[in-house]
Amino acid sequence: MAEVSNSSTMLSQEEIDKLIKKLEEEKENNA
């Protein structure tokens, strides 16, 4: 996975940050 460099198949850092924030918020809401 780390060797994949095709940007069209990889999430951008911004998208990753958004997903992480969303998951963390959901985890807090379910706690």
pLDDT at residue 26 in the model? 95
More confident residue, 24 or 4: 24
Question: Would you state the structure tokens that stand for residue 18, as one six-digit string?
Answer: 């958004």
Higher-confidence position of 31 and 23: 23
3-state secondary structure at position 23: helix
What pLDDT score was predicted for residue 12? 86
Residue-wise pLDDT tens digits, 6-22: 656 677 889 999 999 99
More confident residue, 3 or 25: 25
- Please give the span between the terminal C-alpha atoms of the chain, in angstroms, as a whole number: 32
